[in-house]
Amino acid sequence: MKLIVGLGNPGARYAGNRHNIGFMALDELARVHRPPSWRTRFQGEATGLDFAGDKLLLLKPQTFMNESGRAVAEAARFFKIATRDVIVFHDELDLAPGKLRVKLGGGNAGHNGLRSITAHIGNDYWRVRMGIGHPGDKALVHAYVLNDFGKAERPWVEDLCRACADHLALLVNGQDSAFLSKVHLELEARGHLDIRRPGEAG
């Protein structure tokens, strides 16, 4: 079994925030692959799915971002899921909008959700880093991630989440390079990966 986690903050107030792109990705996985309805479990919203020869548990922690590890650890313990079978979708300031990176372990780069997960289960889990761009000034980061995606950003966000859902089997089966390639090809075909970061000259 693999645990697929999307990071975000709970509640309608935060639903459209850049920080919530992990929730958006999991909502799209559920829309495309049609598991049973989300249930309140493991201090989060969870659902299960038989997929690509494996069982998946989808989890959106409802603990707020900086306590995400509590929900992840509870679910992992219940199903005896190894840390290396945990895959976390999260926002990444240091990647251009629409860019992805997939990495096992590594630093948390100041991300409170990752820091919490690492504190609870260790560091050797997979991260799907979903680029949202950087506002250009460290002082602006907090407001930037807790503001909604703008109208002009929504098409690439939706297409990125859909591409992740469409090629999930590659990620689950350990073909992370192929997963990245397929997702980026789709985003490039739709003209999204030349998007400039906020504040860059035209």
Length of the chain: 202
Cα gap 17→39, rounded to integer Å: 23
Is position 184 annotated as part of the catalytic site?
no
Residues 157-188 as b/e (b if ≥16 CB within 10 A, e otherwise) read: bebbbbbbbbbbebbbeeebeebbebbbebbe
Whether the Cβ atoms of residue 26 and residue 38 lie closer than 8 Å to each other: no
- Phi then psi for 127, rounded to 5 degrees? -115, 130
Options 19, 111, 134, 167, the catalytic residue? 19
Cα gap 71→63, rounded to integer Å: 7
Quick check: helix, strand or coil at residue 24? helix
Quick check: helix, strand or coil at residue 202? coil
Cα gap 199→202, rounded to integer Å: 9
Question: Tell me, what amino acid is at 156?
Answer: W
Cα gap 73→19, rounded to integer Å: 21
Which are the catalytic amino acids? 19
